């Protein structure tokens, strides 16, 4: 989802009563983020439950944290524990419970009370209690950082109780561009709901006509035009957006629907409109790295509209980043086949298993998603196959994807080139890498990969040297790229320069067996033979592949170092 306008929004503060995403805790005693929750919870006292909740929250386990804190709260009535119980219930998506636990007393922190008001208001809208929600949302006590969300939600609460005049008031928060833009989109939808179509179109068109309209604005305006029977105009809106952002799956789907003459999407319900109003603040918080508030807002979105697959994917991303793979997988599993988020969610779901070294499950999921023919699902399958060193099948999958494109994306050519190189199909690999580089001549990864491949083969040495120099200039902290440069100097016989660069590369990538092997070779060439042997012995401790392992073992066993007096280079063309 494109929300480019949100990047200029003011940064937000973290909820004071929450543990940070990095594992720090709020006020009060806490357990180490690394302590197993089950061990801390072994003490059944309220304090033990509190510590278990802290450990769970610090490890991103919101559901477990909610259970532990709630048990401790029931036994003690302590205000700090009550706040933790509220926070963890909210982060776990237990909004009804969070609303019931919303802090209100004098001993509660101001941050928790402000968030609690927003949670209660959302629960009221979800429960059809628009009047109560409206009273909360228009109360000046909902202050930073929730003032924007309250302003965007208030018209929908007014609409829920039939307050036409209140529902059509344009939300406004002084100096808040987010409210200006998304408030206009919400007003447009509410004008349409009131059958004031000319005013609705004015707002929709204004939101679409900015320099970089959001995907939400494009889909809202196009859907409105489709509902008004103006399919040709809707297609023009979709085509214009795709000319700037051809990769938008949601806009592509809308264009295909309109082109096929299928029924237009219905206008949003009250709850759906309110949920959409909260998506923008949530995305802003993600951009500002305020991850816990972002997760809290996304949970509120899903309380209002549990079918919002974009929100489920964002929840999955946040849960995966916090280390809670189980909750991430639950979130990624929500989008169903046919949803524009389905292939993205399935890809991310598969990678959670890949990162946990369950390669069989990862590939099973990726293959099932790829059967649909979806291009992103097929690319995910190819990426997983490459990661598992199943290069021949990866090439086969990428062959099909590339054949379906008029102008193959450089990233696809790069991926196939890498797989072909690993299969030792060098002419095919070189052709793909050169074709990719023609599209992106300044891309550091491409410059480095093709440059290093030539260097290692002793081909096009001067050109390759220039390529890796350019790559290092673009990414001077990349150990892999500095290694390529060092290896170029080695292959050209400039061993002093090679040692200098390879030592830098090892500083950045100390655990890379190939870089350590290269440094050993360079040390040997400048007469630092004890250090060379140390490097080769170190290589054997770093889980090298069979080729690097055999090379290091042979050099150590022979005591002669690298084969031959010096590298022999291929003739320059």
CATH 3.30.43.10 assigned to 443-573: no
Could you check whether 17-105 and 109-322 share the same CATH topology? Answer: yes
For position 14, what pLDDT does the model report? 32
> pLDDT band at residue 159, thresholds of 50, 70 and 90?
very high
Enter the tokens of residue 564.
Answer: 């031959």
For position 466, what pLDDT does the model report? 96
> Given the structure tokens 């002669």, which residue do they identify?
560
Enter the tokens of residue 215.
Answer: 């995907």
Instruction: Answer yes or no: is pLDDT of 337 > 60.
Output: yes
pTM to 2 decimal places: 0.78
Instruction: Answer yes or no: is pLDDT of 127 > 90.
Output: yes
Enter the tokens of residue 269.
Answer: 């319900």
> pLDDT band at residue 284, thresholds of 50, 70 and 90?
very high
For position 37, what pLDDT does the model report? 41
| pLDDT (average), residues 56-72 | 73
Q: What is the pLDDT of residues 415-460, one digit of tens each?
A: 999 999 999 999 999 999 999 999 999 999 999 999 999 999 999 9
Q: Give the other-Cβ count within 10 Å of 104's Cβ.
A: 11
Q: What is the pLDDT of residues 518-536, one digit of tens each?
A: 999 999 999 999 999 999 9
For position 378, what pLDDT does the model report? 93
Query: Which CATH number is associated with domain 17-105?
Result: 1.25.40
Instruction: Answer yes or no: is pLDDT of 570 > 50.
Output: no
For position 563, what pLDDT does the model report? 65
Rounded Cα distance, 485 and 260, in Å:
54
> Given the structure tokens 């305006």, which residue do they identify?
221
Enter the tokens of residue 458.
Answer: 């002793």
Instruction: Answer yes or no: is pLDDT of 162 > 60.
Output: yes
| pLDDT (average), residues 248-259 | 94
**CA-CA-CA-CA dihedral for 173, 174, 175, 181, to nearest 10:** 40
DSSP symbol at 514:
H
Among 69-78, 132-141, 239-248, 323-332, name the one with the lowest average pLDDT: 69-78
DSSP 212-234: S--HHHHHHHHHHHHHTT-HHHH
| Fold of the domain spanning 109-322 | 1.25.40
Q: What is the pLDDT of residues 201-227, one digit of tens each?
A: 999 999 999 999 999 999 999 999 999
Locate the domains of the chain by residue range: 17-105, 109-322, 443-573
| Residue 205 neighbours by CB under 8 Å, 6+ apart | 221
Q: How far is CA 204 from CA 165, 234, 302, 316, 531, in A?
A: 19, 12, 25, 31, 69
Give me the helix-helix angle, 461-474 and 444-457, nearest 10°: 150
| pLDDT (average), residues 357-375 | 90
């Amino acid at each position: 989802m494109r929300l480019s306008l949100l990047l200029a929004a003011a940064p937000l503060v973290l909820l004071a009563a929450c543990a940070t995403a990095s594992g720090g805790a709020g006020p009060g005693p806490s357990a180490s983020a690394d302590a197993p929750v089950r061990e801390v919870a072994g003490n059944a006292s309220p304090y033990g439950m509190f510590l278990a909740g802290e450990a769970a929250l610090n490890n991103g386990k919101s559901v477990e944290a909610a259970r532990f804190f709630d048990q401790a709260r029931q036994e003690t009535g302590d205000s700090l524990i009550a706040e933790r119980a509220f926070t963890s219930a909210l982060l776990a998506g237990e909004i009804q419970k969070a609303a019931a636990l919303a802090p209100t007393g004098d001993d509660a922190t101001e941050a928790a009370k402000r968030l609690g008001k927003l949670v209660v208001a959302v629960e009221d809208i979800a429960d059809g209690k628009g009047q109560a929600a409206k009273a909360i949302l228009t109360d000046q006590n909902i202050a930073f950082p929730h003032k924007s969300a309250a302003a965007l939600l208030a018209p929908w609460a007014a609409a829920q109780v039939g307050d036409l005049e209140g529902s059509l008031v344009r939300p406004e928060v002084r100096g808040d561009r987010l409210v200006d833009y998304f408030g206009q989109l919400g007003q447009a939808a509410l004008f349409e709901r009131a059958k004031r179509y000319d005013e609705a179109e004015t707002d929709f068109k204004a939101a679409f006509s900015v320099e970089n309209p959001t995907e939400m604005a494009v889909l809202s305006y196009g859907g409105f035009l489709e509902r008004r029977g103006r399919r040709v105009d809707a297609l023009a809106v979709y085509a214009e957006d795709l000319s700037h952002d051809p990769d938008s799956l949601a806009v592509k789907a809308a264009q295909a629907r309109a082109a096929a003459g299928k029924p237009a999407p219905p206008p949003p319900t009250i709850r759906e409109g309110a949920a959409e109003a909260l998506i923008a603040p949530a995305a802003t918080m993600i951009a500002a790295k305020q991850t816990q508030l972002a997760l809290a807002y996304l949970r509120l979105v899903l309380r209002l509209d549990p079918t919002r697959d974009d929100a489920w994917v964002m929840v999955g991303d946040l849960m995966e980043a916090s280390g809670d793979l189980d909750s991430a997988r639950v979130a990624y599993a929500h989008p169903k086949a046919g949803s524009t988020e389905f292939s993205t969610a399935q890809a991310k779901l598969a990678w959670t298993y890949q990162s946990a070294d369950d390669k069989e499950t990862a590939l099973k999921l990726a293959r099932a998603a790829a059967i649909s023919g979806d291009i992103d699902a097929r690319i995910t399958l190819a990426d997983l196959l490459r990661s598992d060193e199943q290069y021949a099948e990866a090439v086969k999958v990428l062959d099909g994807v590339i054949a379906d494109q008029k102008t193959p994306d450089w990233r696809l050519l790069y991926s196939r080139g890498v797989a072909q190189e690993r299969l030792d199909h060098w002419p095919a690999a070189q052709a793909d890498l050169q074709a990719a580089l023609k599209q992106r001549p300044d891309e550091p990864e491409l410059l480095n990969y093709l440059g290093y491949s030539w260097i290692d083969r002793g081909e096009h040495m001067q050109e390759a040297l220039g390529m890796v120099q350019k790559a290092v200039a673009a990414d001077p902290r990349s150990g892999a790229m500095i290694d390529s440069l060092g290896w170029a100097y080695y292959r050209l016989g400039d061993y002093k320069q090679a040692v200098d660069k390879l030592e830098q590369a090892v500083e950045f990538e100390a655990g890379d067996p190939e870089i350590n092997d290269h440094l050993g070779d360079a040390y040997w060439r400048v007469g630092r033979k004890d250090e060379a042997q140390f490097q080769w012995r170190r290589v054997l401790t770093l889980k090298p592949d069979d080729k690097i392992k055999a090379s290091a073992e042979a050099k150590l066993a022979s005591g002669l170092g690298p084969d031959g007096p010096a590298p022999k280079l291929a003739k320059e063309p």
